[in-house]
Structure 1
């Protein structure tokens, strides 16, 4: 699959988070045991839900447009679709015979524009697989083809926070009418922009959800899309308009990094469990006289590589403009994101950055004809982006209202994520501890970092994980999660359309034209390689005994080094602030 048509870029991030299925589930019942809430049957007919009045929630023009019985995952559901004014589309799936009083809202990736009910980070989750949740999601106020929706101030707000919040409120009302009983517990699960949405809910609307799962969160929406992806795109573009580094060089770079840093975590397994302890000198890859045709990098490629790892810096001062760049060990994941397959192929970074800069990033949109070359990496540019930080970003570390409401938060991120640096999640976790006190933070929040895992799924490391079950147990039993098992996805693992989940270039497949993915369940391959992950700042190390492919052969160990802060122009983003309404 090649990144060619800009109108597809919203779906691109969404499809990254699609569930992976088609293989048998490995039993892990101890991790899947949750409180056995009673099944509640519908108290009214499905079609009758079209009469529910949503005006008080979304304003004039808000309504349910359809309510029909459908089959999902071998079970009957009442599928409800509606609109919250002016254009927030939403969908709720209500089990007809298996609802166990839980509500799950699923986040939407990229810039959304479509309704996606795929629950990630829930591989083999028994309460989800048994159709016990009512599930909802939203297009966040616009459709996929509406690339310039950011020209409308209301649609900016609907994307930033309003669409997700109102969908939660409307869904709860629909659930209560249908079953004559409110949901006993509400959960949110999202990755990428869905992770940003998850954090936004905890920060802005602390009573919407009892448990929130935020994966690879695009929490620094402004700098992430406007600065990071633009920098990666233009840095790797030569004076001839073609790429300086292509996918052909990535194995060379990756293997050199592994040779230097793989063993730092005590095991040579192709994974780097603590990338910040890796100090790789890219100049060792420079071509030298007498290399005799051995693979190496030119001077220009070496300097470009150094800038790609480092990320954008302000002209003049040299100050960093993002929390951090891609981590060592992530190199193979760069293909298709900011490194093209061939020198003239398109890349995701360019496709995502340009429409954001043209229609969303600034209070006043730039003139027609704006290109990535027109963005200047200066303090003035950063300050212009800062103006909408309180609208789009979800970095407020003051979660006192969420904690007081009994809310629980799990943040997770792949160490090899090329789209959003995991250092964003580390910085936020640290900021919550500074703001609220580490003991208070640890009473309701956890951070998990997955070695070798790409953006939301896939990668060389075990990427299948069930965070929904431990979240349910934390909320409903008070059992705080500790070690959680991750599982290696099979090479042939497929998405809900029967397409390969991820190809050699880390590029997720697009859904067939005109199709929306059905509700789908992540599954775990039989006899899959497994490994535990522990709450940050700890990680898993091989104990020296047992099968290296089994989670029970690993022990817990603290990272070599942790950081109290990351120095960049937006450090104050991780302090309490007032949101734009």
Structure 2
């Protein structure tokens, strides 16, 4: 269909081989003012909603023209199924699971290529991918699995290891919070108590008290959760934490060894509960014990654990996740990870062809831990060496930013930065992020390349020029 602006919107289905599998629904938007480039946009969560490509790309600053308005062919899909949130029922079908894991990216790309050749009589000069969360995972897959198809990708807080995160991290949360009758569970008041204590201790460690914790390593060195211990260690109310609750938060804040590797990695990353996570959106839940099936009132991390364990791993929708033992299901977890995880993805062909990747994470992200993204980056350092890696990947951390929201609701010029690097050879330098929160809209901070962090050095606290990227505490 054509709209009043001259664009042609093509919506369709890619039919499955298995008649029991759902189709991949896609949209490709062909602009009248085509700039010779294509931009594929990634989804979120377990996908299940059509990414139309009509709006802004992930973390694009407010007020800018959309990519389609700028002349990009834009495209997206529903990942190969329909469903809200973390509805994992599609995982009962092999083809639907494969489409979600990797194949819908390639199939949607190829449809768009065919449509561009038909409409414009030529292929795009450049093909980009921008995504956040699951979309960031899809960006990594685009670069690693289909390097011939993409020139540059933006991977924001990628859920590149869905199986490990949901089985490993979710399992840690479930056991920490709900074992022993829920002795370790923190109700909303206790969660707020902990978060307020962390911010009271750490907000000023970066040189300014602004509701943003930038010096996260300094925070880990300074904050002591035992300062909140109830007298005698028993649970005496919402003004303190019991020994069991302190044990639970320590578990959540620690790296764990799963006991066997999933897609080449056995380490479950720590969560930022002691250096900036607020658990205000991805909450620790409002019930002391989970229900079977889940009620929706449990901790967010338990919810994703439940989604993976039931419909994807055991393929028993009635399975009780609290009885799940990962070691007993290690073979099946490995099989699922082959479909869903990009932990050990090979980026060498992407790098060799001149592809570029921007990788980011929020340092206050309680949906996908920043430690998880850092672990991915460090594996690339080990594989390529720092100098070679710097030639095609840049990793930036965003203080105060969680999973699409936060005390500093970060936005930055990802697409023009990526294009300058790919098309002009101009590597990113001195990037700036802008806050999209209504109360603090327009304040800026430097976007620091890992392992540097943002330190206030004097001047207007709302301007990036008053801050410096530093590696020292």
User: In structure 2, the residue corresponding to 1:360 is in which secondary structure?
Assistant: helix
C-alpha distance in structure 2 between counterparts of 1:315 and 1:386, whole Å: 13
2:423 matches 1:476: yes
Q: Shift in Å at residue 423 of structure 1?
A: 1.4
Which residue is 1:354 aligned to? 306
Are 2:40 and 1:92 aligned? no
TM-score of the two chains, using structure 2 as the length reference: 0.86
**Residue 399 of structure 2 corresponds to residue 451 of structure 1:** yes
1:207 partnered with 2:148? yes
SS in structure 2 of the partner of residue 482 of structure 1:
coil
Q: Could you tell me how far apart the structure 1 residues matched to 2:341 and 2:95 are?
A: 17
Q: Aligned equivalents of 1:390 and 1:294: distance in 2?
A: 44
Look up the SS of the partner of 2:7 in the other structure. Answer: strand
What are the equivalent positions in structure 2 for 1:270-419 lying under 5 Å apart? 270-277=211-218, 278-279=220-221, 280-288=223-231, 295-310=239-254, 314=258, 321-332=267-278, 334-341=279-286, 345-361=297-313, 365-367=314-316, 369-376=318-325, 378=327, 380-382=328-330, 384-396=332-344, 398-419=346-367
Deviation readout 1:544-573 (Å, 9 max, x if unpaired): 2x201101222221255xxxxxxxxxxxxx
Higher relative contact order (CA 8 A, sep 6+): 1
Number of residue pairs matched by the alignment: 447
Specify every segment of 5 or more residues in structure 2 that has no aligned partner in the other structure, as ranges: 17-22, 290-296
Is 1:228–2:169 an aligned residue pair?
Answer: yes
Once the 2 structures are TM-superposed, how far is the Cα of residue 444 of structure 1 from its aligned partner? 0.9
| Partner SS for 1:123 | coil
Shift of 1:420: 1.0
In the alignment, which of 12, 22, 33 is matched to residue 82 of structure 1? 12
CA distance in structure 1 between the aligned counterparts of 2:274 and 2:419, rounded to whole angstroms = 34
Judged with a 3 Å threshold, the aligned counterparts in structure 2 of structure 1 residues 112 and 397 are, in CA distance, closer, same or farther, namely closer
Aligned-pair distance for 1:100? Answer: 1.4
Determine helix, strand or coil for the equivalent of 1:188. strand
- From the superposition, tell whether residues 553 and 443 of structure 1 become closer, same or farther in structure 2 (CA, over 3 Å): same
Structure 1 residue 399: deviation in Å? 1.5
**Contact kept? 1:210, 1:406, Cα under 8 Å:** yes
Q: Is the 8 A contact 2:168 2:258 kept in 1?
A: no
Change in 2 beyond 3 A, CA 1:383/1:458: same
The residue that corresponds to 1:432 in the other structure is 380
Which residue of the partner structure matches residue 59 of structure 2?
Answer: 121
Deviations 1:270-309 (A, max 9, x none): 32224234233211111237xx999222233222222222
Query: Normalising to structure 1: TM-score of the pair?
Result: 0.71
Q: Call closer, same or farther: CA 1:441–1:331 in 2, change over 3 Å.
A: closer
Q: 1:500-579 maps to which residues of 2 (within 5 A)?
A: 528-544=442-458, 546-558=459-471
Structure 2: distance between partners of 1:102 and 1:227: 39
CA contact (8 A) 2:9 2:30 kept: yes
Matched residue SS, 2:396: strand
What residue in structure 1 maps to residue 3 of structure 2? 70
Please give the alpha-carbon distance, in whole angstroms, between the structure 2 residues aligned to 1:310 and 1:138.
Answer: 36
Q: Is the 8 A contact 1:88 1:139 kept in 2?
A: yes
Change (3 A) 1:381 1:260: farther
Match for residue 78 of structure 2? 139
Out of 354, 370, 379, which is 1:422 matched to? 370
Question: Which one has a larger percent helix, Structure 1 or Structure 2?
Answer: 2
Distance 1:242 1:287 in 2: 14
Residue 243 of structure 1 and its aligned partner are, at CA, apart by 8.0
Contact 2:457 2:466 (8 Å CA) reproduced: yes
In the alignment, does 2:45 pair up with 1:110? yes
Unaligned runs of 5+ in 1: 1-67, 493-524, 561-581
* Counterpart secondary structure, 2:67: helix
* CA separation of 1:320 and 1:105: change in aligned 2, threshold 3 A: closer
